[in-house]
Amino acid sequence: MVRGMRPFHLAFPVNNLPKAEAFYRDVLGCGVGRKSDKWIDFDLWGHQVVAHLVDNMSDAQRNPVDGDQVPAFHFGVVLSLEDWEALVDRLREHGTEFLIEPRVRFEGQPGEQRTCFVKDPAGNALEFKALRDLGQLFAVD
């Protein structure tokens, strides 16, 4: 049951970060959030999409993000803290293996969040995250 629309989060691989930034910022009009030399957060009409730089367009590529090796291609949902905690409990109850264990990312920084990664049966990486302050989703350092 959907309790209310929440912004979605989608990460995708790109092979040229400056071209990706120019297209999403200048052509589509997306706001730019946090970024590094390996990834850029964009505000796509209130949804968080993240371009991750990869050497090739393989879904096996990973980028370092706050101490984790994050799959360059993954998708997920931004949940309330209560729903995120319930989901983590449910995943554990079902014996789900975490690709990245539940943790706090960007602790004490803008955009602090709870996050975890799992794979679906087909091997797709999914991230579930929650922010205490949803207004910080596109926060810039």
In a domain, 1, yes or no: no
What pLDDT score was predicted for residue 124?
Answer: 72
Q: CATH number, domain at 51? A: 3.10.180.10
In a domain, 3, yes or no: no
Does residue 56 sit in helix, strand or coil?
Answer: coil
Tokens representing residue 129 in the block: 């995250």
What pLDDT score was predicted for residue 60?
Answer: 67
Q: Which residues, 6+ apart, have CB-to-CB distance to 113 below 8 Å?
A: 104, 105, 106, 129, 130, 131
Nearest of 75, 77, 74 to residue 6 by alpha carbon:
77
In a domain, 119, yes or no: yes
In a domain, 2, yes or no: no
Tokens representing residue 74 in the block: 């993954």
Give first-to-last CA distance, the chain, whole Å: 35
Mean pLDDT by 10 residues, the chain (141 residues): 71 88 82 95 89 77 87 84 92 92 92 91 81 86 68
What pLDDT score was predicted for residue 67?
Answer: 87
Structural domain tally of the chain?
A: 1
Nearest of 6, 3, 111, 129 to residue 74 by alpha carbon:
129
What pLDDT score was predicted for residue 40?
Answer: 96
Range of the domain at 112: 8-136
> With contact defined as beta carbons under 8 Å apart, do 100 and 93 qualify?
no
